[in-house]
Structure 1
Amino acid sequence: MPFGEILRVALEALRVNKMRSVLTMLGIIIGVGAVIAMLALGNGAKAAVNERIQALGTTLVTVVPGQVFTGGIASSTDRAQLKTDDYEMLLTRGTTWTAVEPEMSRNQQVQYLTANTNTNIIGATANYPDVRRYSIGVGHMFTENDDLGRKRVAVIGATTATNLGVTAPAGLIGQQIRINGVAFDVIGVFAAKGGATGFNDPDDQIVIPLGTARFRLFGTENLRSINLLAPSEDKIDEVMAEAEKIMRRSHRLAVGRPNDFQIRTQADFLNTAAETTQVFTYLLAGVALVSLLVGGIGIMNIMLVSVTERTREVGVRKALGATRKTILAQFLIEAVVLCALGGVIGILAGTGTAAILHSALDWNTQVSIPSIVVAFVFSAAVGIIFGVWPARRAASLDPILALRYE
Structure 2
Amino acid sequence: MHLREAFVIAVHSMRTVPLRTVLTGLGIVVGIAAVIALVGFVSGMRNGFNTTFGDLSRAVMISKNAPRLPGTAAAPLLESDAQALRDRAKAPDIDPESVTPLRSGTAVIRYKDKEFRALLAGTATGYLQVRNRAIAAGRMFTDQEAEEKARVIVLGSAVVGRLFDGDAAAALNSQVQVGRLTMRVIGMMAPAGQDQDLLNLTPLSSVRALFAGADRISSLGFMATSADRVPAAVQQAQAILDPLHRINNPGERDYTSQTNVAQLERISTYITLIKWFTLAVASIALLIGTLGVANMMIVTVAERTSEIGIRKAIGARSGAVLRQFLIESIMLAGLGGLIGVGAGVGLVLVGGELLPLYAPGYGTPELSWPAVFIAFGVSLVIGLFAGVYPALRAARLHPIDALRY
TM norm structure 1: 0.66
Deviation string for 1:315-374 (max 9, x for gaps)? 111112122211111111111111111111111101111111121232511111111111
CA contact (8 A) 2:29 2:336 kept: yes
- Partners in 1 of 2:37 and 2:186 — Cα distance? 40
* 27 and 228 in structure 1: CA distance in 2 versus 1, 3 angstrom threshold: closer
CA contact (8 A) 1:34 1:350 kept: yes
Once the two structures are TM-superposed, the CA of residue 134 in structure 1 deviates from its matched residue by: 5.1
- Counterpart in the other structure of 2:320: 326
* 85 and 284 in structure 1: CA distance in 2 versus 1, 3 angstrom threshold: farther
The alignment of Structure 1 onto Structure 2 pairs a total of residues equal to 345
Deviation string for 1:159-215 (max 9, x for gaps)? x97xx9746x21134498xxxxxxxx99243487xxx9xx99xx9785446979x99
CA contact (8 A) 2:62 2:221 kept: no
- Counterpart in the other structure of 1:46: 46
Matched, 1:353 2:344: no
CA contact (8 A) 2:97 2:126 kept: no
Q: Tell me the secondary structure at the aligned position of residue 187 of structure 2.
A: strand
- Counterpart in the other structure of 2:222: 227
- Counterpart in the other structure of 2:123: 125
Q: Tell me the secondary structure at the aligned position of residue 99 of structure 2.
A: strand
CA contact (8 A) 2:32 2:376 kept: yes
CA contact (8 A) 1:141 1:187 kept: no
Matched, 1:62 2:59: yes
- Counterpart in the other structure of 1:98: 97
Spell out the pairing of 1:199-214 with structure 2 (5 A cutoff).
Answer: 206-208=199-201
| Aligned mate of 1:304, from 298, 309, 314 | 298
- Partners in 2 of 1:386 and 1:254 — Cα distance? 69
CA contact (8 A) 2:45 2:364 kept: yes
- Counterpart in the other structure of 1:29: 29
Once the two structures are TM-superposed, the CA of residue 131 in structure 1 deviates from its matched residue by: 4.7
* 253 and 7 in structure 1: CA distance in 2 versus 1, 3 angstrom threshold: farther
Spell out the pairing of 1:163-202 with structure 2 (5 A cutoff).
Answer: 166=166, 169-173=168-172, 174=174, 187-190=185-188
- Partners in 2 of 1:241 and 1:402 — Cα distance? 81
Q: Tell me the secondary structure at the aligned position of residue 397 of structure 1.
A: coil
* 379 and 206 in structure 1: CA distance in 2 versus 1, 3 angstrom threshold: farther
Letter in 1 for 2:59: T
Matched, 1:400 2:392: no
- Counterpart in the other structure of 1:75: none
Letter in 1 for 2:26: L
- Partners in 2 of 1:293 and 1:17 — Cα distance? 23
Letter in 2 for 1:317: R
Q: Tell me the secondary structure at the aligned position of residue 397 of structure 2.
A: coil
- Partners in 2 of 1:65 and 1:30 — Cα distance? 51
- Counterpart in the other structure of 1:283: 277
* 152 and 127 in structure 1: CA distance in 2 versus 1, 3 angstrom threshold: closer
Once the two structures are TM-superposed, the CA of residue 22 in structure 1 deviates from its matched residue by: 1.5
Q: Tell me the secondary structure at the aligned position of residue 185 of structure 2.
A: strand
Aligned alpha-carbon RMSD (Å): 5.0
Once the two structures are TM-superposed, the CA of residue 31 in structure 1 deviates from its matched residue by: 0.7
Once the two structures are TM-superposed, the CA of residue 393 in structure 1 deviates from its matched residue by: 1.7
Letter in 2 for 1:155: L
- Partners in 1 of 2:197 and 2:4 — Cα distance? 62
* 325 and 204 in structure 1: CA distance in 2 versus 1, 3 angstrom threshold: farther
* 229 and 316 in structure 1: CA distance in 2 versus 1, 3 angstrom threshold: closer
- Counterpart in the other structure of 1:2: 2
Deviation string for 1:85-138 (max 9, x for gaps)? 456463143222234225699xxxxxx9xxxxxxxx895614245755956843
Once the two structures are TM-superposed, the CA of residue 386 in structure 1 deviates from its matched residue by: 1.6
* 141 and 380 in structure 1: CA distance in 2 versus 1, 3 angstrom threshold: same
Structure 1 residues without counterparts, runs of 5 or longer: 69-82, 106-111, 113-120, 177-184, 216-220
CA contact (8 A) 2:60 2:234 kept: no
Deviation string for 1:62-97 (max 9, x for gaps)? 22479x9xxxxxxxxxxxxxx994564631432222
Percent of paired sites with the same residue: 28
Structure possessing the higher radius of gyration over alpha carbons: 2
Once the two structures are TM-superposed, the CA of residue 41 in structure 1 deviates from its matched residue by: 0.8
* 395 and 247 in structure 1: CA distance in 2 versus 1, 3 angstrom threshold: farther
Letter in 2 for 1:16: T
* 350 and 253 in structure 1: CA distance in 2 versus 1, 3 angstrom threshold: farther
Letter in 2 for 1:301: N
Letter in 2 for 1:345: I
